[in-house]
């Protein structure tokens, strides 16, 4: 059972998300919140696997992400918002969000995203991924500081990180590189340790900032 928190100051939005997710027998809504404080408290009070957070709710969704990371580190925080500006997306991911979805995400895609987040895979709306890549391209080159953080990675780890940066799951990375899922998981664990990232989404952002995606 995947336990989900929905945090949004609009009651109609919460009701709509609940209606979509409850179509899946393996997803259960365990709490709702109207602001950042309630979201953090709910994740502390309930076992929550995935927290869907509006970024512009009272108290700020990014503040909620940081609080959940401190109070309930097992919870995967995923932004579900109408705002997809590069700076906002990057701030949320750096704060510890495991994903970023837009509110025009279709019902099937939303259910799939919750399942992927619960499994530990990154969930980024395709539009968001394209924006991040385009933003890095406009910079003209990768960040030297970001590239320096990749200096200790082995060639195999760099290959895994490059594919992780495109949003692929462990299984998809394993298939592309002809590795076992266990080996990919071990590489990702090492990547997080060597780069100082707290989760795979932060590692994906780092890969983009360092110019690893080409």
Task: Kindly state the tokens that stand for 6.
Answer: 């929905």
Residue corresponding to tokens 């919750």: 114
Closest CA to 49 of 13, 69, 14, 74: 74
Residue corresponding to tokens 């590795």: 179
> How much is the mean pLDDT over the chain?
89
Q: What is the pLDDT of residues 69-117, one digit of tens each?
A: 999 999 999 999 888 777 788 888 888 898 899 998 999 999 999 999 9
Confidence label for 212 from pLDDT (cuts 50, 70 and 90): confident
In angstroms, the Cα distances linking 178 to 122, 168, 171 are 21, 14, 10
Instruction: Spell out the domains of the chain, with CATH numbers in brackets.
Output: 2-132 (3.40.50.2300), 141-209 (1.10.10.10)
pLDDT of 115 reads 95
Is the pTM higher than 0.85? no
């Amino acid at each position: 059972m995947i336990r989900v928190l929905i945090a949004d100051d609009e009651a109609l939005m919460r009701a709509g998300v609940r209606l979509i997710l409850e179509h899946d027998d393996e997803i259960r809504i365990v709490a709702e919140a109207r602001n950042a404080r309630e979201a953090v408290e709910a994740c502390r009070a309930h076992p929550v696997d995935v927290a869907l957070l509006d970024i512009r709710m009272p108290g700020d969704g990014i503040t909620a992400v940081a609080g959940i990371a401190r109070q309930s580190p097992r919870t995967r925080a995923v932004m579900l918002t109408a705002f997809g500006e590069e700076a906002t997306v990057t701030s949320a991911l750096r704060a510890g969000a495991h994903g970023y979805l837009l509110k025009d995400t279709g019902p099937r895609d939303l259910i799939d995203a919750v399942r992927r987040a619960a499994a530990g895979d990154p969930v980024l709306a395709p539009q968001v991924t394209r924006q991040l890549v385009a933003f890095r391209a406009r910079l003209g080159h990768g960040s030297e500081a970001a590239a320096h953080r990749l200096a200790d990675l082995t060639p195999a780890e760099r290959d895994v990180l490059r594919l992780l940066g495109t949003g692929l799951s462990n299984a998809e990375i394993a298939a592309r590189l002809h590795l076992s899922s266990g080996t990919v998981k071990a590489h990702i664990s090492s990547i997080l340790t060597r780069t100082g990232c707290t989760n795979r989404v932060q590692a994906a952002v780092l890969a983009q900032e360092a110019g690893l995606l080409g």
